[in-house]
Amino acid sequence: MRRRVAALALCICSIGRLASAQPAQDLDSRVVTLVGQVSEQRLIVLLKKLETFGTRNTLSSIDSPTSGIGAARQWIFDEMKGYSPKLQVSFDTYRIAAQGRITRDVEARNIMAILPGRSPRRIYISGHYDTIAIDGGQSGSNAGNRGRDGIVVSQPADPNAPNDSPAAGVNDDGSGTALTIELARVFSQSGLDFDATLVFMCHVAEEQGLMGAKLHAQKARDQGLRIDAVLNNDIVGNARGGNGIIDGASIRVYSEGPEDSPSRELARFVQRWGMRYVPSHTVRPLSRPDRFSRGGDHSAYNQYGFAAVGFRESREDYSRQHDPRDTFDGVSPTYLAQNARVNAAAAAALALAPPAPGVLNERGQANINRAPSGYDAHLMWKASPGASAYRIFWREAWGPDWQHDMLVGNVTEATLPNTLIDDLVFGVAAVDAAGHESLVSPYISPARDTDDVKTAK
């Protein structure tokens, strides 16, 4: 006991000495410069080009050089390939068997651009480049009455025929696709050395059940790839709701629970750093996986155990979604550019930071206790490579956002006297010498197994 107290006294000493070495400012001017490179004009060019393919339906023609999904995927590939020799661009190809909304066996290609970092751990920025149009569009689906507004979308009677009915998909999800392509350009031309590996991913077959994302996430799990974060963007380009209400100054970020799940920590990170680098735009985290009865590719990554969040415009116009009217005149490039800047800020801040510290002990329990007095908060964590300090976070155990934080130098434990660990949630992030901060590792222990009580006869 005596030795333990001495160790803690030493720990507090070192906190006091190293705290004065904390970074002088929160923002990295290099990230400010990178965010400033996001170009609204470039986004306009990309959106208009994506519109020219007429449809990018996963089941559309692949033999035309100018229209359909074959032309679209080749153009996206070539476009990203041209940005920088550092970008490793490839098709991530699968053959999907006929099932559900896939009417025939089809070759499906995600388009993936990798910007290698010092570490293989990955951060994804993504959208889906495939499109769809259905009778009545999303308005009809919402009303439970397809065809309600009179637009009839012709579908081929032959399941083996290509589906080339018009589905320009400029917002769904040309917006997320253009954002992803533009950030591939900005990051690969930034000249920055990132710790994490960045992956710019344009998914396919989202509209048939997140199939492109599921296939990739499944492969990543099977290969043991470490994916720390997926920032998925789907319908992020329109600021005018179909009910006339306009909001071009905020973006929704959906994440699956529970409240300290890796995806929730990612959403908190996006809000914390997105709004610091882009203070003109409000990030609105929402404590649910997605909108009611709607889905997106981030959920595919969640299903395979990866942290992933879904960016969604704040006010949607359902009359243009899954509809031939999803055209360029229905998006706001100014708004899309703001959403791209938030993505850029969060991804750059995270990719420059060290990995998050481990906070579980050998038994898989949160490494926190009430020592030394029995009424203190004593936090322990594992050192993170590249970290020169750590930041402790805490909040009342009834509320979604971190309320307090404190930088504690290059140590692996800290004590907050007379602080009840029963009433607060704690977390810790790794911080490097330039102030880049990791995701927060929360002190949450897994739920205990239930043992049935044996009853006597």
Residues that bind Zn ion (CB under 5 A): 172-173, 234
- Which residue lies nearer to Zn ion by CB, 195 or 316? 316
CA distances from 58 to 85, 92, 147 (A): 29, 14, 22
CA distances from 177 to 20, 50, 169, 364, 383 (A): 44, 9, 10, 39, 37
Give me the least distance between CB of 235 and Zn ion, in Å please. 6
> How large is the angle between the packed helices 333-352 and 262-277, nearest 10 degrees?
110
Give me the least distance between CB of 206 and Zn ion, in Å please. 6
- Which residue lies nearer to Zn ion by CB, 322 or 378? 322
- Which residue lies nearer to Zn ion by CB, 234 or 256? 234
CA distance 366 to 326: 48
Give me the least distance between CB of 220 and Zn ion, in Å please. 21
- Which residue lies nearer to Zn ion by CB, 72 or 389? 72
- Which residue lies nearer to Zn ion by CB, 234 or 317? 234
Cβ proximity of 80 and 89 under 8 Å: yes
CA distance 262 to 257: 8
- Which residue lies nearer to Zn ion by CB, 327 or 369? 327
Say which residues have a Cβ less than 8 Å from residue 405's Cβ, sequence separation at least 6: 391, 392, 393, 394
Cβ proximity of 376 and 370 under 8 Å: yes
Say which residues have a Cβ less than 8 Å from residue 234's Cβ, sequence separation at least 6: 127, 128, 172, 173, 176, 206, 296, 297, 310, 311, 312
CA distance 276 to 348: 13
Give me the least distance between CB of 225 and Zn ion, in Å please. 24
Give me the least distance between CB of 284 and Zn ion, in Å please. 19
Cβ proximity of 432 and 385 under 8 Å: no
Give me the least distance between CB of 169 and Zn ion, in Å please. 8
Q: Please tell me what DSSP assigns to residue 366.
A: B
- Which residue lies nearer to Zn ion by CB, 115 or 309? 309
- Which residue lies nearer to Zn ion by CB, 234 or 437? 234
CA distance 25 to 435: 8
Which residue shows structure tokens 């996986």? 289
Give me the least distance between CB of 22 and Zn ion, in Å please. 42
Give me the least distance between CB of 197 and Zn ion, in Å please. 26
